[in-house]
Amino acid sequence: MILSDILKQPVVDAGGARLGYAIDVRFVVSGTPSQLLADAVLESILVSPRKQTTFLGYERSGIVSPWPIGKLLEHRHRGSFFVGWNDVAMIGSDAVHLRPGFTRLPLREDD
């Protein structure tokens, strides 16, 4: 699997209802560093209900400048959420399919 298999794909629940688009992913660097870096593990997928464009990193807490861009992207992607990688049932050619009972994770820890 390569990242382009996921990005901009529709995301559907177990019943086939469209939830939005996979616009970004979040990796966690864990393990013991090897020659260059520790292993990166795919942790979650960012789902936007309306747009196929990214947040440009503005979904991360603490990024506030330039504020007009952040506010515009926040409005365009309202209702966005993360889905844990363990909640992905299948990545098909037509969509990313989630397992029954998946959990919507907030964008920020304070949400």
Q: How far apart are CA 95 and CA 111, in angstroms?
A: 27
Instruction: Report domain extents, the chain.
Output: 3-52+80-105
Length of the chain: 111
Instruction: List the CATH code of the domain at 3-52+80-105.
Output: 2.30.30.240
What count of other Cβ atoms lies within 10 Å of the Cβ of residue 67? 10
pLDDT for 59 beyond 90: no
The pLDDT of residue 103: 95
**CB of 20 closer than 8 Å to CB of 54:** no
**CB of 61 closer than 8 Å to CB of 109:** yes
Model pTM score: 0.74
What mean pLDDT is reported for the chain?
81
Q: What is the pLDDT of residues 9-57, one digit of tens each?
A: 999 999 999 999 998 898 888 777 777 777 788 899 999 887 666 655 5
Strand order in the sheet with 81-84: 88-91, 96-98, 10-12, 18-30, 39-48, 81-84, 104-105
